[in-house]
Amino acid sequence: MKFNTTQTLQQIANLLEIQFVGDPNFKITGLNEIHVVQEGEIVFVDHPKYYDKALNSKATTILINKDVACPEGKTLLISDDPFRDFNKLTKHFNPFIASKQSIADSAEIGEGTIVQPNVFIGEGVKIGKNCLIHANVTINNNCIIGDNVTIYSNTVLGSNAFYYKKRPEGFDPLVSGGRVVIEDDVDLGASCTIDRGVTGDTTIGEGTKIDNQVHVGHDTVIGKKCLIAAQTGIAGCTVIEDEVTIWGQVGVVSGLHIEKGTVLMAQTGVMKSLKKGVYFGTPQEEYRQKMREIIHLKNEVNKNKK
């Protein structure tokens, strides 16, 4: 998430009321998650397991809960609760704006786009030309939709990420300040849910077609011309390359990378990143190998019955 105006290390520390290490005038351009953070941005870390990864990431400011040596060319923000303070920054630089009507005045809707009754379109939404938005669709704040997109009833774009920190009193949500971006010529079936990014974009690529009741988690990037069938669930921070076919009731765990042209057969559970191929089963295996195993097992069972 980029700031509208570049901040200094001193300004951020003052906002959070915490100590810092480094040049007070060090420039900060935004904040981001560790897997996509870029130079000039803040990343937070609150667990020893990830200290080294954060300190050696592209982030040039690290919001951390431990006094550590500051890497050359970087700065530190020392917090007793980086998760809390990261949320504070998101809320400050990207505050939630409540809508006062079904279609916000700030929304931009392109020529030839049809919006059916009972659609909600939030603040800062941009919709391209010749789209068809069916009844009861919800498009939350700051979502971006390209040209020639069709969205069927009851689909929700831009829900918060399913991302929580466990505390003694319960689960504390990480505030989502990112967007959903739907590129040109995408179809979204009925009752789909596409979560916004935590700090970046959840993206559905050009020409991709998604069936009914599909869930796409935060910060996931789906490529061009993919086909995704009903009741599929894709967890956050996953990258699915172009022309991937995913059949019904597939589950994909978070943080994976699936190569271009891969096919996932129905009811496959994907537990690791995949090279191009055809896969089936839970955990996933190469389709023909899995079918040979099933046939062998069936033959063994039949032998025992005799």
* pLDDT over threshold 80, residue 71: yes
- Residue range(s) occupied by CATH 2.160.10.10 in the chain: 108-288
- For residues 91-102, give the mean pLDDT: 93
User: What is the reported pLDDT for 295?
Assistant: 84
Q: What is the pLDDT of residues 20-44, one digit of tens each?
A: 999 999 999 999 988 889 999 999 9
Q: How many residues does the chain have?
A: 306
* pLDDT over threshold 80, residue 96: yes
Backbone angles phi, psi at 52, to 5 degrees: -65, -40
Q: Hey, what are 147's tokens? A: 């040209």
- How far are the Cα atoms of 42, 102, 138, 252 from residue 159, in angstroms, in the given order? 23, 17, 9, 19
Backbone angles phi, psi at 81, to 5 degrees: -150, 80
Give the residue carrying structure tokens 């869930």: 215
> Can you tell me the distance from the alpha carbon of 231 to that of 247, in angstroms, rounded to the nearest whole number?
9
Residue 290 pLDDT grade (very low, low, confident, very high; cuts 50, 70, 90):
confident
* pLDDT over threshold 70, residue 288: yes
User: What is the reported pLDDT for 294?
Assistant: 82
Q: To the nearest whole number, what is the mean pLDDT of the chain?
A: 95
* pLDDT over threshold 80, residue 89: yes
* pLDDT over threshold 90, residue 271: yes
Q: What is the pLDDT of residues 205-247, one digit of tens each?
A: 999 999 999 999 999 999 999 999 999 999 999 999 999 999 9
User: What is the reported pLDDT for 173?
Assistant: 96
User: What is the reported pLDDT for 300?
Assistant: 75
User: What is the reported pLDDT for 105?
Assistant: 94
User: What is the reported pLDDT for 161?
Assistant: 95
* pLDDT over threshold 70, residue 45: yes
- For residues 150-154, give the mean pLDDT: 98
Please list the active-site residues.
Answer: 218
- Residue range(s) occupied by CATH 3.40.1390.10 in the chain: 2-93
* pLDDT over threshold 80, residue 165: yes
Return the closest-CA partner of residue 247 out of 234, 236, 263.
Answer: 263
Q: Is the domain covering 108-288 a CATH 2.160.10.10 domain? A: yes
Angle ∠(80,82,85) on CA atoms, nearest 5: 100
* Higher pLDDT, residue 86 or 293: 86
Residue 95 pLDDT grade (very low, low, confident, very high; cuts 50, 70, 90):
very high
Across the beta sheet with 61-64, the strand order is 2-8, 27-31, 41-45, 61-64, 75-78, 19-21
User: What is the reported pLDDT for 235?
Assistant: 97
User: What is the reported pLDDT for 60?
Assistant: 96
Give the CATH fold of the 2-93 domain.
3.40.1390
User: What is the reported pLDDT for 296?
Assistant: 74
CB 178 within 8 A of CB 1: yes
What region does 207 belong to: left with phi over 0, alpha with psi -120 to 50, or beta? left
User: What is the reported pLDDT for 289?
Assistant: 86
Backbone angles phi, psi at 298, to 5 degrees: -65, -40
* pLDDT over threshold 70, residue 306: no
- For residues 49-60, give the mean pLDDT: 95
